[in-house]
Amino acid sequence: MKNLLQGVQISVDVKVMSRNILYVVPTFFIMSFLYLWSNHIAVTRLVENAILLDQLIPFIGWSIIIYWLVLVVAITGVLLLRDIRHVHRLLAVNALSFLLNFMVWFSYPIVYPRTEHLLTGISGELFSILYFLDTPANSFPSGHVSLMCLLAWTGMSLKGWRGHLLLVISVLGVFSVFTTRQHTVIDAIGGAATVMIAYAVVQLYVRLKSE
């Protein structure tokens, strides 16, 4: 099957970014609203899915910087896509994977307890912001990993060093969810799975539409 982002190119042209922002901002605003709404609903049943491997991964406080940076790259990177078809397809996969994640978050919330730390400085501040916005709920599937999968998909589709850079950033982003104790390995697998399902659905739609 043809890669939905085949031939993808990026551009820093102001007109391209201005065009894309009309699609990107509403999409992520709606997603953020729904996520935070479901994230702050009182959870009456606490379910955890941590396994032994999660306990073996060390807590690395400064990796919260990576956690935030790759999130910014994943969201703003869509603004640089030159072809509007690639923008639509990427956002479609993103939106569908989010809806799949949301159904699980809302119907069967899974919690990953916070790790206590005594961090100060920028790392401590970034954790404080994260903990203020994001409760321990909505752990599975990992929406952060879903975004990293989309970033990796873009990186694999983009030729040259820029594509390799996006791949490295996406891998670092996945590792950061473990080292900051934001998500478990099972959470990450779930986040990747919803993206694969969403991609298959969008790919089928594009194929049927072209026939």
Each residue of 46-66: pLDDT tens digit?
667 777 888 899 999 999 999
Would 5 be classed as within a structural domain?
A: no
Would 33 be classed as within a structural domain?
A: yes
Question: What's the rounded mean pLDDT across residues 5-28?
Answer: 93
Would 7 be classed as within a structural domain?
A: no
Q: Flag the least confident range among 50-54, 174-178, 206-210.
A: 50-54
Would 4 be classed as within a structural domain?
A: no
Q: In a 10 Å sphere around its CB, with 0-12 CB exposed, 13-18 middle and 19+ buried, how is residue 101 labelled?
A: buried
In which band, very low, low, confident or very high, does the pLDDT at 75 lie, cut at 50, 70 and 90? confident
Residue whose token pair is 């809806």: 99
In which band, very low, low, confident or very high, does the pLDDT at 95 lie, cut at 50, 70 and 90? very high
Produce one character per residue of 22-39: b if its CB has 16 or more CB atoms within 10 Å, e if not.
Answer: ebbeebbeebeebbeebb
Tell me the pLDDT of the chain averaged across its residues: 90
94 is in which domain, residue-wise? Answer: 14-40+51-210
Would 140 be classed as within a structural domain?
A: yes
Would 96 be classed as within a structural domain?
A: yes
The reported pLDDT for the residue numbered 40 is 77
Three-class SS of residue 10? strand
Question: What's the rounded mean pLDDT across residues 138-149?
Answer: 93
Would 90 be classed as within a structural domain?
A: yes
The reported pLDDT for the residue numbered 44 is 54
Q: Select from 91, 93, 71, 102 the least CA-distant residue to 22.
A: 91
Would 6 be classed as within a structural domain?
A: no
pLDDT score of 108 more than 90: no
Q: Give a three-class secondary structure readout of 92-154.
A: HHHHHHHHHHHHHHHHCCCCCCCCCCCCCHHHHHHHHHHHHHCCCCCCCCCHHHHHHHHHHHH
Higher pLDDT, 42 or 122: 122
80, 10 contact by CB (below 8 A): yes
Q: In a 10 Å sphere around its CB, with 0-12 CB exposed, 13-18 middle and 19+ buried, how is residue 67 labelled?
A: buried
CATH number for position 61: 1.20.144
181, 115 contact by CB (below 8 A): yes
- Rounded CA gap, 101 and 164, in Å? 28
Q: In a 10 Å sphere around its CB, with 0-12 CB exposed, 13-18 middle and 19+ buried, how is residue 17 labelled?
A: middle
pLDDT score of 149 more than 90: yes
How many domains does one find in the chain?
A: 1
Cβ neighbour number for residue 192 with a 10 Å cutoff: 19
Question: What's the rounded mean pLDDT across residues 118-147?
Answer: 89
